[in-house]
């Protein structure tokens, strides 16, 4: 599965009447088990592209803090926003200041917009449908593939680390998001 096919599935799920994660599971379950694993590999590749400190800082501002588990939820949420918004955020996380859900979250006082844990488990759930609920089958098949394939994820280079609790740093690096979420100073 190439990236265009990956994004086509995501975009299709976003237009469904069901919540995106449920629609994604339905679409993936219609694929073969190998295609579900292909999707999962692309998901990890795409998610890995935004595994960066500047993106984490954006999640920290939007969520009013952000643990490493929450950062995984945030990256999954960026994927759920669709290809266009994902690319805008990957280019500059400060672009998220223009997203309606982020603007609303700022107005509401820190509603955790974009964090979407369930999306990261859509492939698992779809695979389970093929195995009559065998929860371990997906992880076993996925692990076997990972051993056989060189990791395509961007790696450990997350860019320059900085202190998310330093308002001056946050204002410098993410000025538009900081304007939405940090107290005037």
Residue 160 domain flag: no
Residue 53 domain flag: yes
Q: What is the mean pLDDT of the chain?
A: 91
Is residue 151 pLDDT above 50, yes or no?
A: no
Is residue 96 pLDDT above 80, yes or no?
A: yes
Residue 154 domain flag: no
Residue 117 domain flag: yes
Phi, psi of 155 (to 5 degrees): 105, -160
Which residue would you say has higher pLDDT here, 4 or 154? 4
- The pTM is what? 0.92
Range with the poorest average pLDDT among 61-75, 107-121, 161-175:
107-121
Residue 159 domain flag: no
Give the C-alpha separation, 176 to 178, whole Å.
5
- Is 102:4 a contact under the CB 8 Å cutoff? no
Q: What confidence tens digit (pLDDT) does each residue in 5-55 have?
A: 999 999 999 999 999 999 999 999 999 999 999 999 999 999 999 999 999
Is residue 149 pLDDT above 70, yes or no?
A: no
What is the rounded average pLDDT of the residues 104-110?
A: 84
Residue 161 domain flag: no
Residue 158 domain flag: no
**Percentage of the residues of the chain whose pLDDT score is greater than 70:** 93
Is residue 110 pLDDT above 90, yes or no?
A: no
Is residue 152 pLDDT above 50, yes or no?
A: no
Q: Domains in the chain: how many in total?
A: 1
What is the rounded average pLDDT of the residues 92-121?
A: 91
pLDDT band at residue 150 using 50, 70 and 90 as cut-offs: very low
Q: Which two tokens stand for residue 37?
A: 């694993």
State which residues form the domain around 105. Answer: 3-149+169-180
Residue 95 domain flag: yes
Q: What angle do CA 120, 123, 124 make, to 5 degrees?
A: 90
Nearest to 65 by CA among 104, 97, 110, 102: 110
Is residue 185 pLDDT above 80, yes or no?
A: no
């Amino acid at each position: 599965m190439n990236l265009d096919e990956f994004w086509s599935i995501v975009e299709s799920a976003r237009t469904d009447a069901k919540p995106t994660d449920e629609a994604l599971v339905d679409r993936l379950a219609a694929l073969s088990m190998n295609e579900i694993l292909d999707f999962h590999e692309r998901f990890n590749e795409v998610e890995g592209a935004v595994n960066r400190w500047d993106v984490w800082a954006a999640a920290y501002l939007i969520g009013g803090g952000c643990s490493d588990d929450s950062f995984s939820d945030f990256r999954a949420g960026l994927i759920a926003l669709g290809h266009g918004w994902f690319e805008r955020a990957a280019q500059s996380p400060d672009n998220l200041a223009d997203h309606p859900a982020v603007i609303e979250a700022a107005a509401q006082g820190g509603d955790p917009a974009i964090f979407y844990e369930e999306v990261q488990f859509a492939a698992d759930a779809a695979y389970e449908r093929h195995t009559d609920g065998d929860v371990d089958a997906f992880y076993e098949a996925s692990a076997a593939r990972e051993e056989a394939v060189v990791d395509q994820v961007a790696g450990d280079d997350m860019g320059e680390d900085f202190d998310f609790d330093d308002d001056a740093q946050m204002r410098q690096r993410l000025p538009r998001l900081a304007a939405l979420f940090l107290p005037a100073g």
